[in-house]
Amino acid sequence: MKKRYVVGLSIIILACGWMAVWFGLRMRAQAWHVKAVASLQIEDPLQARVFSENALKIQPNRSQFLLTYAEAVFKDETLDSGQRMRLALDSLGKIDDHAIESYEARIHEASIFFFNQLMPKQAEAALNRAVRIAPHRTSALHSLFQIYCCTARDTFVEPLFIELAANTEQPKDKVAVLSNWFLSQFDLRTYNQRTDNRLGVGGMLGGNIPVSQQRLLGFRDAEPDSISARLALAYWFLLRTDGKQAKKLLDELDPEDINPADPLFLVTAVNTYLEVGEIDLAKDLHSYWDDKNYYEYWRQKGVIEQDYEQDLKAAVVSLEKALTIWPGQIDPSIYFRLETCFQKMGRAEDALKVREKASHLRQVVEVGRIKELREIVLTENFSEANYRKFSEFYDALGRSLEKEAWGNLALSAD
């Protein structure tokens, strides 16, 4: 009995000793981490990296330490840029999506992928993970909005804007959300300029190649297996009425890589093949739309029905539906097509109403007015009067969300 007592007591003493050592090591690791954070605060990433490495030797999988180490190595300019990005991404990749630090880890991953490696597909995947982790936090939504606008999906961002508007409370942040939404829909080039400056794509290829094209070429080269970058590039040519070049890029795609229900593919491909006269192919591809909540689905349907099936009654239904989905309300081609349909159908009164709506739209989005509103945004010249200018602008467009949001800012302005 005495022997058992001694053995038991020895095990307890040994366990206590191990626990003391374990707690001591944890405290030492935490102390190294505190020093790493302090070093980052005084902008000494090299020292922060050393402290973080010491902490990780003791607790190599602790998410808090991995996040700090990633920041330290990424900012440590004693390392070459490739090594900094590789080490940072490797550290961030070890942080599980269930960890407290997971949201920030995914945001940092996306930033490196997008701004440093020109990989929007990888960045978007990281941001989508962040949204699943914390659906109502806005950092990931802001970044997704930015990437969409840089990859020919500016007509797809309304759902992101609605989420941002619903989850943004501070007036200053609300102004930023509303301003970005305005620029993205009425002056995309200006909106993307800020992103292009951070991406560093201007002058990347030299010559007279537009910055927007350089950006898309950079994305394509950085992610050669990504179909999205090549679709965006094809769409870029299509917008510049170069359907032949857009078709060439589409024809080069591997059919195995294509998701035929991808909205960007369908917007680009159907419009391109209509442009170059391959009507049967365009009609066949249009049938692959499985989400009919896109204005382009209804616009394309109306074009096919009006121009190639001579079914004016069906075209009117489709075109009127397109006008109810943003940005159909500001697409003058839809009003023109509707008016033409009504004229051919002998519905002169309806044609006149559409013509009046089109005239109203031209007045609302008149170049001088858009320029005035853009200058307010760019100079941040926000005041009660200028808030009201935006509210009145969206009221004229029949957009209640934006009208009320800008109006509320006017009411709360000092």
Please write the tens of the pLDDT for every residue from 335-357: 999 999 999 999 999 999 999 99
Q: Which residues contact 369 (CB under 8 A, 6 or more apart)?
A: 393
pLDDT of residue 136: 92
pLDDT of residue 59: 86
Q: What is the mean pLDDT of the chain?
A: 92
Q: For residues 249 and 243, what is the distance between their CA atoms, to the nearest angstrom?
A: 10
Tokens of 389: 């200018």
Binning the chain into helix, strand and coil, the percentages to the nearest 5 are 75, 0, 25
| Mean pLDDT confidence for 116-120 | 97
Please write the tens of the pLDDT for every residue from 237-254: 999 999 999 999 999 999
pLDDT of residue 379: 95
pLDDT of residue 206: 61
pLDDT of residue 3: 54
Q: How far apart are the first and last CA of the chain?
A: 83
- The better pLDDT of the pair 394, 414 is held by 394
| Mean pLDDT confidence for 67-91 | 95
Per-residue pLDDT band for 24 (boundaries 50, 70, 90) equals low
Q: For residues 242 and 271, what is the distance between their CA atoms, to the nearest angstrom?
A: 12
User: Residue 37: what residue type?
Assistant: V
| Mean pLDDT confidence for 277-284 | 97
Q: Which residues contact 409 (CB under 8 A, 6 or more apart)?
A: 171, 174, 175, 178, 382, 387
Tokens of 73: 């190595």
Please report which residue ranges of 210-366 form alpha helices under DSSP H.
211-222, 227-239, 243-251, 263-275, 279-286, 295-303, 312-322, 332-344, 348-364
8 A C-beta contact, residue 164 and residue 141: yes
pLDDT at 19 over 70: no
Angle at which helix 45-58 crosses helix 63-75, to 10 degrees, equals 150
Rg (CA), the chain: 28
| Mean pLDDT confidence for 158-176 | 96
Rounded percentage of the chain residues whose pLDDT exceeds 90: 84
Per-residue pLDDT band for 203 (boundaries 50, 70, 90) equals low
User: Residue 39: what residue type?
Assistant: S
Q: What is the pTM of this model?
A: 0.91
pLDDT at 202 over 80: no
A 10 A CB-CB count for 105 gives 25
Q: How far is CA 245 from the centre of its chain?
A: 26
8 A C-beta contact, residue 229 and residue 252: no
pLDDT at 18 over 50: no
Please write the tens of the pLDDT for every residue from 40-65: 999 999 999 988 888 888 888 999 98
Greatest pairwise CA separation for the chain in angstroms: 111
Q: Which residues contact 164 (CB under 8 A, 6 or more apart)?
A: 138, 141, 142, 145, 177
pLDDT of residue 211: 92
Q: For residues 306 and 308, what is the distance between their CA atoms, to the nearest angstrom?
A: 6
Please report which residue ranges of 94-170 form alpha helices under DSSP H.
102-111, 120-133, 139-150, 158-166
Tokens of 303: 């074009």
Task: Specify the range with the lowest mean pLDDT, choosing from 1-10, 112-121, 311-320, 324-333.
Answer: 1-10
Residue ranges of domains in the chain, CATH in brackets: 23-167 (1.25.40.10)
User: Residue 217: what residue type?
Assistant: L
Tokens of 376: 């307010």
pLDDT of residue 187: 97
| Mean pLDDT confidence for 65-90 | 95
Per-residue pLDDT band for 32 (boundaries 50, 70, 90) equals confident
Please write the tens of the pLDDT for every residue from 372-392: 999 999 999 999 999 999 999
pLDDT at 7 over 50: no
pLDDT at 27 over 80: no
pLDDT of residue 413: 83
